[in-house]
């Protein structure tokens, strides 16, 4: 039996769709996978159609396959007729009287989440424009929004609020006849008499099924009955003069990195609220608190598309949310479901995947627009017009990206949020589909390399703003580009390490501010060790070496990078790079101080101050003075330190560096505590800590909070001091009987100097509280723990303070010997308060009867 004999034939003698599809595919020499890739549909869709398992696919799928097969003219018409023998447009239901004289031939709308602003805007647009088109991807909620708006404006349209659903293969006469019929007349000529000058509204759904006929029918209808307003929905506009195109965006999703605190926090985002509601219906139980982070991540992957959310939530009958994320998070394009609409479901219609929904809009683009969309798929987060134009540029040929972005927005492929420059973003499903198409076209490597170069250029021109008055805005911009920075760095490190080194060398200050010093240093060390970067410009390698040292100083590995910082200084000095030399000396101050080489550290700070003064570098003068302040504190010259901090504040204000001013004020709080002015220390420390939250410097903020806690403890305000401990260490002990378990409490959570410093601060506060309460045994445990932590911290004065407290708690001569050795190594002089405490201890030991 030949293959033809084993196939059914459709009515009228036409070949079955399975035969037709397979014949066209084989004629082009394509495999099923190659045809699926060309069309943007799943391989399973092609396979099922050729096997006869699916006999009536969606019109979307038919059009995509016809395009991929290159069918035109009668061949295309025969293919479409075989696949979709569907009647023309017709009114879905009979008119229903909502109010006397106001027929509403539409079903009741479903409750919408997060669409209040959309409803209000579209309602207002209908008052100003005769034709309003809601456009967007399949499943974004165009029809649901249109139904809600139609019912909302029914009272303002006494002539009637009715609708038609455009059918596949409709012509202008079909659409016009159906439109007239829903108003209750049989001829267009009778419609003006029927309306009698009263406003009316016609909802035209699924314009993309017959855009030309719809445009012709609407033009004829509105010319004959000018009081009829048109509200259209589709994946493309109607295309009439005076038409107002209003894209329908997906629902808002929780931003990346946002961890929902509870269900109420999550429900602030309509996409998450919709998923949670539908998931609860499917599982008959709401998402558990532990599932909320996965829920936020999942709706981000779904792009806020209501159809995708509904389909994914339905799987909650079988899987919990983390399982859904693990199983489907990378396969959202394959989610399938019937076309959402307001007409009765077609029982024999197939399913449409998100891939097919996106593919339909993709194929509405011109070839150059498709190529541009494939390039834009490289972006991982929001981007600006300027950044898009850089990515799309070919050599000296520049793109005007505005018309392209307008077209992508018009078709619902592009999300536009906010008012800043970084407000454009491809929907995740669109980006995934475009990336697939780039793979099929063999463009991915070139696109990713271009993306890495563009992001490297962005960071290089932005990074200078990480010092000075532009710091907050610069940090925010780099935060916006985090996903793209990570993607660009990862790809370039493998394929273009010179580009990766250029990118990484500009990032250390941002990495430090965002607590990524360990991972950032790892990137720099890897790239510097790559033999492919050996011939990079010496100054670029010097900046990379210096960045590695800067980051190492943040987590206690500064001594390992001392040669790197010294080598960088030598390069900068040799080429006369003043900015580089000043930066290198500043980093060496921190590294040498951590090594205990105090005189060398002070010499570097003084050399930096001289160089900065000679070249009029006000900010660098302030930085050098700030370094020298610590040396004044170390030797106990607190008055000199206070004067120097006032100079830092003045210079920082002069150059507009808010961060330096805040650091100086945080240090003034610490200085007030050391001077015994505890109330002043609490007030200034709290102000500085609050300001540092917005600045985004977590390590400095925690140090300021620690200063407040110690001042409160030394003032005898025990409960307030312990509340600070809870703030520094939320998972720590609660009020009540307090002990310091030697192993559990002091097993370090990390190796960073910040971690050691925080541990020392917590233990110092606890020790001072215990000492104030007369519990010397407990105080000794805490001060011993503080000394252990401070030995690995950045501030060796904490070590001296801990040993003074331990000596006061125990009276042990061995502790005094340890204190003397620590003072000799660190060069830290005792403050008057500490000398008085130890003198009192010595006098107590000399009393008769004490040994």
Tens of pLDDT, residue by residue over 755-803, are 567 788 889 999 999 999 999 999 999 999 988 888 765 566 888 889 9
Closest among 308, 581, 325, 622 to 468, alpha carbons compared = 622
User: 242-263, pLDDT tens digit by residue?
Assistant: 899 999 988 988 887 677 878 8
137 pLDDT band, cuts 50/70/90, is: confident
* Residue 750's pLDDT band (cuts 50, 70, 90): very low
DSSP class of residue 249 equals: P
Average pLDDT on 99-116 reads 69
Task: Name, in order, each residue with C-beta under 8 angstroms of 753's C-beta and a sequence gap of 6 or more.
Answer: 553, 554, 555, 556, 594, 792, 793, 794
Confidence band, pLDDT 50/70/90 cuts, at residue 747: very low
Least confident of 122-126, 195-199, 543-547, 731-735: 731-735
Where residue 485 falls among pLDDT bands split at 50, 70, 90?
very high
For residue 196, how many other CB atoms are within 10 A of its CB?
Answer: 10
Mean pLDDT within 45-55:
79
Are 104 and 95 contacting, i.e. CB atoms less than 8 angstroms apart? yes
Structure tokens at 639: 């008055």
55 neighbors 15 (Cβ within 8 angstroms): no
Q: What share of the chain has pLDDT > 90, as a percent?
A: 49
Residue whose structure tokens are 């003072």 = 823
Whether residue 507 has pLDDT greater than 70: yes
39-53, 397-411, 604-618: which is most confident? 604-618
pLDDT classification of 197: cutoffs 50, 70, 90:
very high
Say which residue the tokens 């045809």 belong to: 35
pLDDT tens readout for residues 636-647: 899 999 999 999
Given a cut of 70, whether residue 33 has pLDDT beyond it is yes
d(CA 713, CA 717): 6
Q: How confident is the model at residue 30 (pLDDT cuts 50, 70, 90)?
A: confident
Query: Scanning the structure block, which residue is given the tokens 């710091």?
Result: 471
Beta bridge partners of 243: 131
Kind plus residue range of the DSSP H or E element containing 352: strand 352-353
Is 70 exceeded by the pLDDT of residue 737? Answer: no
Contacts of 614 (CB under 8 A, 6+ apart): none
Long-range contacts, 36-39 (Cβ 8 Å, 24+): 37/436, 37/440, 38/68, 38/440, 39/64, 39/65, 39/67, 39/68, 39/359
pLDDT score for 307: 83
- Bridge partners of 706, per DSSP, are none
Tell whether the model's pLDDT for residue 817 goes beyond 60.
yes
Rounded Cα distance between 256 and 263, Å, is 17
pTM of the complete model: 0.76
Q: From CA 552, how far away is CA 237, in angstroms rounded?
A: 57
Q: Which two tokens stand for residue 206?
A: 């699924």
Task: Answer whether 567's CB lies under 8 Å from 545's CB.
Answer: yes
For residue 610, pLDDT beyond 80: yes
Kindly report the average pLDDT of the chain as a whole number.
Answer: 84
Share of the chain above pLDDT 70, in %: 87
User: Can you tell me the mean pLDDT for 318-328?
Assistant: 91
The DSSP call for residue 99 is E
For residues 407-414, average pLDDT: 88
Rounded CA-CA distance 535/526 in Å is: 15
pLDDT, position 94: 37
pLDDT at 846: 56
What pLDDT is recorded for position 639? 92
* pLDDT of amino acid 751: 39
């Amino acid at each position: 039996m030949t293959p033809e004999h084993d196939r059914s034939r459709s009515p009228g003698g036409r070949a079955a769709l399975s035969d037709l599809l397979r014949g066209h595919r084989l004629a082009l020499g394509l495999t099923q996978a190659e045809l699926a890739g060309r069309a943007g549909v799943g391989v399973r869709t092609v396979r099922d159609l050729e096997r006869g398992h699916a006999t009536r696919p969606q019109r979307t799928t038919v059009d995509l396959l016809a395009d991929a097969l290159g069918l035109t003219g009668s061949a295309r018409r025969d293919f479409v007729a075989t696949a979709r023998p569907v009647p023309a447009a017709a009114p879905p239901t009979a008119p229903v009287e909502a109010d006397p004289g106001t027929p509403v031939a539409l079903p009741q709308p479903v409750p919408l989440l997060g669409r209040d602003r959309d409803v209000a805007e579209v309602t207002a647009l209908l008052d100003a424009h005769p034709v309003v088109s809601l456009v967007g991807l399949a499943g974004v909620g165009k029809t649901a929004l249109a139904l809600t708006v139609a019912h909302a404006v029914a009272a303002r349209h006494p002539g009637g609020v009715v609708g038609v659903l455009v059918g596949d293969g409709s012509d202008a006469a079909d659409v016009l006849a159906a439109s007239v019929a829903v108003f209750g007349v049989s001829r267009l000529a009778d419609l003006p008499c029927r309306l009698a000058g009263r406003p009316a509204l016609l909802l035209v759904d699924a314009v993309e099924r017959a855009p030309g006929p719809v445009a012709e029918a609407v033009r004829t209808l509105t010319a004959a009955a000018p009081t009829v307003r048109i509200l259209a929905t589709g994946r493309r506009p109607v295309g009439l003069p005076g038409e107002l195109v209003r894209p329908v965006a997906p629902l808002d999703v929780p931003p990346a990195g946002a961890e929902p605190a509870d269900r109420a926090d999550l429900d602030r985002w309509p996409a998450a609220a919709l998923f949670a509601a539908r998931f609860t219906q499917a599982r008959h139980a709401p998402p558990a608190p532990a599932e909320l982070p996965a829920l936020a991540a999942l709706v981000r992957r779904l792009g806020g598309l209501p159809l995708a959310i509904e389909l994914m939530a339905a799987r909650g009958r079988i899987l919990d949310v983390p399982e859904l994320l693990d199983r489907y998070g990378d396969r959202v394009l394959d989610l399938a479901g019937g076309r959402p609409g307001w007409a009765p479901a077609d029982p024999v219609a197939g399913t449409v995947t998100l891939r097919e929904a996106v593919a339909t809009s993709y194929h509405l683009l011109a070839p150059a627009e498709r190529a541009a969309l494939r390039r834009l798929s490289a972006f991982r987060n929001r981007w600006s017009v300027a950044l898009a134009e850089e990515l799309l540029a070919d050599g000296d040929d520049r793109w005007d990206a505005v018309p392209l972005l307008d077209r992508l927005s018009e078709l619902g492929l592009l999300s536009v949020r906010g008012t800043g420059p970084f407000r454009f973003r491809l929907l995740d499903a669109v980006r995934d589909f475009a990336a697939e198409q780039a793979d099929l076209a063999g463009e991915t490597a070139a696109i990713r390399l271009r993306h890495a170069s563009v992001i490297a250029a962005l960071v290089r021109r932005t990074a200078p703003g990480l010092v000075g008055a532009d710091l907050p805005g610069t940090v925010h911009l780099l935060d916006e580009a985090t996903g793209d920075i990570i993607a660009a760095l990862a790809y370039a490190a493998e394929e273009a390490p010179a580009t990766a080194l250029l990118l990484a060398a500009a990032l250390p200050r941002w990495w430090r501010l965002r607590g990524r010093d360990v991972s950032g240093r790892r990137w720099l060390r890897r790239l510097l060790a790559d033999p492919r970067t050996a011939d990079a410009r010496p100054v670029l390698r010097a900046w990379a070496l210096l960045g590695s040292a800067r980051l190492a100083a943040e987590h206690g590995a500064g001594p390992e990078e001392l040669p790197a910082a010294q080598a960088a200084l030598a390069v900068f000095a040799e080429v006369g790079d003043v900015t580089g030399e000043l930066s290198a000396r500043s980093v060496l101050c921190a590294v040498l101080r951590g090594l205990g080489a105090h005189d060398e550290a002070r010499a570097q700070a003084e050399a930096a101050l001289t160089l900065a003064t000679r070249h009029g570098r006000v900010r660098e003068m302030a930085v050098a003075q700030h370094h020298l302040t610590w040396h004044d504190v170390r030797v106990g010259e607190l008055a000199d330190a206070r004067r120097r901090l006032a100079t830092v504040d003045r210079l920082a204000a002069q150059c507009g560096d808010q961060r330096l001013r805040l650091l100086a004020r945080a240090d003034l709080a610490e200085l007030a505590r050391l001077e015994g002015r505890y109330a002043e220390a609490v007030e200034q420390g709290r102000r500085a800590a609050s300001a540092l939250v917005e600045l985004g410097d977590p390590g400095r903020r925690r140090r300021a909070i620690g200063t407040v806690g110690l001042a409160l403890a030394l003032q005898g305000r025990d409960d307030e001091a312990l509340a600070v401990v809870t703030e520094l260490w939320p998972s720590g002990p609660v009020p009540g009987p307090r002990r310091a378990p030697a192993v559990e409490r002091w097993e370090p959570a990390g190796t960073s100097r910040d971690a050691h410093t925080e541990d020392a601060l917590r233990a110092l506060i606890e020790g001072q509280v215990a000492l104030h309460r007369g519990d010397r045994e407990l105080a000794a445990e805490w001060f011993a723990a503080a000394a252990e932590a401070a030995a690995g911290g950045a501030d060796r004065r904490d070590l001296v303070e801990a040993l003074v407290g331990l000596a006061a708690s125990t009276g042990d001569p061995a502790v005094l010997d340890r204190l003397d050795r620590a003072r000799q190594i660190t060069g830290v002089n005792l403050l008057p308060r500490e000398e008085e405490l130890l003198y009192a201890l010595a006098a107590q030991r000399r009393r008769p009867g004490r040994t």
